[in-house]
Amino acid sequence: MAKSNSAILSVRNLQTHFYGDGAVVKAVDGVSFDLKLGETLGIVGESGSGKSVTNLSILRLIPYPPGKIVGGEVIFDNKDLMKIPENEIRRIRGKRIAMIFQDPMTSLNPFMKIGAQLMEITQLHEGLNNSQARKKAIEMLELVGIADASRRIDDYSHQFSGGMRQRVMIAMALSCKPELLIADEPTTALDVTIQAQILELIKGLKEKIGTSVILITHDLGIVAGMTDHTGVMYAGKIVEYAPTEELFSNPHHPYTKGLLKSVPDPLIEQKKLFQIPGLPPDLSNLPKGCPFSPRCSSATTQCQEFPPIRQINAEHYSACWLEN
Amino acid sequence: MNQPVSATVVEEKQLVVGTSLWQDAWRRLKKNKLAVFGAIVLIIIVAASIFVPIFSSYSYDQINLDKSSEPPSLEHWFGTDQLGRDILVRSLIGGRISLMVGVIATAVSFVIGVTYGAISGYFGGYIDELMMRIVDVIYSLPYLFLVIVLLAFFTKSIFMLFFVLGAVSWLTMARIVRGQVLSIKNQEFIEAARAVGVETPMIIFRHVVPNTLGPVIVYTTLTIPSAMLSEAFLSFLGLGVQPPLASWGTMVNEGVEAISVYPWQLIFPGLMMAITLFSLNFLGDGLRDALDPQMRKD
């Protein structure tokens, strides 16, 4: 939203659609945001709101067919990643923009030793030879807190626990000191105590290496503790974007308000947990106007028309007709 | 007091070491007596085929008409054929040829089939559609007819036989690999490999193909006997190995002519072929059970 010169990544009107069975699923439908150097941006939303697809689109990792990036720009280092040739974006993947995936149990190749997978990246991007790459891999494993790294490097992924595997994934992602790290629900598959460790690890390494981070999650608690700015996604669009503190203290969009209310407060005994009524819309058959209007308690006839994204205050944007 | 403590230490050590998929498969294979028996018999036959002809005082093409069609004796353990050649040595030379046909034809089908199937499955879409229709077309041609035409058209050399048998048996391999690749390519670790910028050929052959190897190895061990059987059949028809070189197929062919008078000319090469095929099938079955995760009971 905010045009800024220090933005490391600018996404403009990104659109990714999936084609199948005669229907078009608009998984990402006009997403724009900026990520400033050294900042952490949170993207929150329900399952299926297009969070992951947005970030896969940034690296052009959408499988085609059925998916296709149909429009928009992703400016990284003054280049539009959507337009550069395939082998150029391949050199950016893993080296300058790295990703951590949701499920560490399936993100590692079960047939390769951990070390071989770690070494692959530095050999690929930094041209290290075998012994250099191995040394680097051990170094990275130590950095993410794997004990006895020089021995564990020859283990297979099934010999690691979930939290350890996510550490390995982080080691892999950070091997080439990327400028941008995209963490796609990095803690969803882990239990709560491990979650906190992994988040602390990402936070610490982000400062150490100086990486900017995009953190995708559906957990508002993570967003609150980790991010500088937050974008709320709904039905393939960012419906609200604000500095994280502002978003929590002064939410504008009814969907954001609903999300915040849905978080149970352990201090107050609630008879019934709050939930946003209805279901997320079918992305191949979106309602006319505001996609949230059928579930929105403050919807008016005006919502039949699509609300433009508006500036609420200095850094706070929202796509809703409501006046505060 | 000391006893239980040391016991737990040992247990922990075992836990830490763990077992890889291959170690696990190997352990289960060793438990399968039939498969182990098959493997041992195979090793004996292979070793005999390689070494016995080298050290024997007879050679496979040494004709001795004075000793035509002699029954088994201490001098000639398996007897002699109509031209007085030692059947033991000829059976073992035949074993060399037959095993070579089996292994090389399977290797040819393995290389073509895995590459073709992996590319087809990984790229998907129109490429997959086109590549698989080509396979369907070749599949629909009568297999033996194709082999016979190819052998009649080109020279009847033994290398041609390797190639032809391999070239017609890669189809099933390609289908098996494609099916495996289709399910593996959508797994997260492939996406993760793409996300770190690994080139497509590297992804296919380093990340995808090794994960398909379980079923592929099983199919491979079952292709070897089928290639050997095809070779025997073609040789029986006179299209395979040409005399004086022997294969089990040609020897059985010659033996059939004399079955009522000199049965050993048929029985010994036939028996060796049967034992080898049995052993290969036992080993193949054992490997399938060992590598198939669905069979994991223990």
Q: Tell me: the pLDDT tens digits for A156-175? A: 888 888 888 888 888 888 88
> What is the total count of domains within chain B?
1
In chain A, the percentage of residues whose pLDDT exceeds 90 is 0
Which residue range(s) make up the domain with B195? 29-51+79-295
Question: Using CB atoms, which residue from A61, A109, A112 is nearest to B195?
Answer: A61
Is B4 within 8 Å of chain A by CB?
Answer: no
Residue B149 forms part of a structural domain: yes
Q: Is the pLDDT of residue B77 over 60?
A: yes
- A110 contacts in B (CB within 8 Å)? 21, 189, 211
Question: For residue B232, what are the CA distances in angstroms to B87, B102, B129, B222, B256?
Answer: 17, 10, 35, 16, 13
Angle, to 10 degrees, between the axis of helix A114-126 and the axis of helix A130-143? 120
> CB–CB of B216/B114 below 8 Å?
yes
Using one digit for the tens of pLDDT, what is the confidence trace for B85-114? 777 888 888 888 888 888 888 888 899 999
Q: What is the pLDDT of residue B116?
A: 93
- Which residues are within 8 A (CB) of A54 and not within 5 positions of it... i.e. 6 or more apart? A11, A14, A16, A28, A31, A43, A233
Give the mutation candidate from B189, B209, B212, B216 for the A interface (greatest A CB count, under 10 A): B189
Is B199 within 8 Å of chain A by CB?
Answer: yes
Question: Using CB atoms, which residue from A63, A90, A106 is nearest to B189?
Answer: A106
Task: Tell me the two tokens of residue A169.
Answer: 């994934």
Q: What are phi and psi of B76, to 5 degrees?
A: -120, 100
- Across the interface, do B195 and A158 touch by the CB < 8 Å criterion? no
Residue B67 forms part of a structural domain: no
For residue B153, what is the domain's CATH number?
Answer: 1.10.3720.10
Using one digit for the tens of pLDDT, what is the confidence trace for B188-246? 888 888 888 888 888 888 888 888 887 888 788 888 888 888 888 887 777 777 777 77
Peptide bond into A65 cis (omega under 30): yes
Measure the CA–CA gap between B90 and B80, rounded to whole angstroms.
Answer: 9
Give the mutation candidate from A95, A111, A177 for the B interface (greatest B CB count, under 10 A): A111
Mean pLDDT of B24-46: 85
- Across the interface, do A125 and B197 touch by the CB < 8 Å criterion? yes
Residue B74 forms part of a structural domain: no
Name the residue among A311, A233, A256 with its Cα closest to residue A41: A233
Q: If interface means Cβ-Cβ distance under 8 Å, which residues of chain A face chain B?
A: 59, 61, 63, 65, 90-95, 98-99, 101-103, 106-112, 120-121, 124-125, 155-156, 158-159, 169, 172-173
ipTM: 0.76
Q: How far is B198 from chain A (nearest CA, A)?
A: 7
**Half-sphere exposure at residue A249, Cβ-oriented, CA atoms within 13 angstroms:** 5
Q: Would you give the distance in Å from CA B262 to the centre of its chain?
A: 32
Using one digit for the tens of pLDDT, what is the confidence trace for A246-279? 888 888 888 888 888 887 777 777 677 778 877 7
Residue B62 forms part of a structural domain: no
Nearest CA in chain B to A95: B196
Residue B276 forms part of a structural domain: yes
The whole-chain average pLDDT of chain B stands at 78
Residue B96 forms part of a structural domain: yes
Which long-range contacts (C-beta less than 8 Å, at least 24 apart) are formed by A205-211? A205/A143, A205/A144, A205/A170, A205/A174, A206/A40, A206/A181, A209/A174, A209/A177, A209/A178, A210/A38, A210/A177, A211/A174, A211/A177, A211/A178, A211/A179, A211/A180, A211/A181
Q: Is the pLDDT of residue A13 over 70?
A: yes
Q: How far is A52 from chain B (nearest CA, A)?
A: 12
Question: Using CB atoms, which residue from B124, B191, B211 is nearest to A111?
Answer: B211
Measure the CA–CA gap between B188 and B171, rounded to whole angstroms.
Answer: 29
Residue B68 forms part of a structural domain: no
Measure the CA–CA gap between B48 and B65, rounded to whole angstroms.
Answer: 26
Neighbour count for residue B288 (Cβ, 10 Å):
18
- Which residues are within 8 A (CB) of B141 and not within 5 positions of it... i.e. 6 or more apart? none
Using one digit for the tens of pLDDT, what is the confidence trace for A27-80? 888 888 888 888 888 898 888 788 888 888 888 888 776 888 888 888 888 888
Residue B89 forms part of a structural domain: yes
- B203 contacts in A (CB within 8 Å)? none
Q: What is the pLDDT of residue B230?
A: 84
pTM over 0.80: no
Using one digit for the tens of pLDDT, what is the confidence trace for B117-130? 999 998 888 899 99
Q: Is the pLDDT of residue B3 over 60?
A: no
Q: What is the pLDDT of residue B130?
A: 93
Q: What is the pLDDT of residue B6?
A: 41
> CB–CB of A144/A171 below 8 Å?
yes
- A94 contacts in B (CB within 8 Å)? 195-198
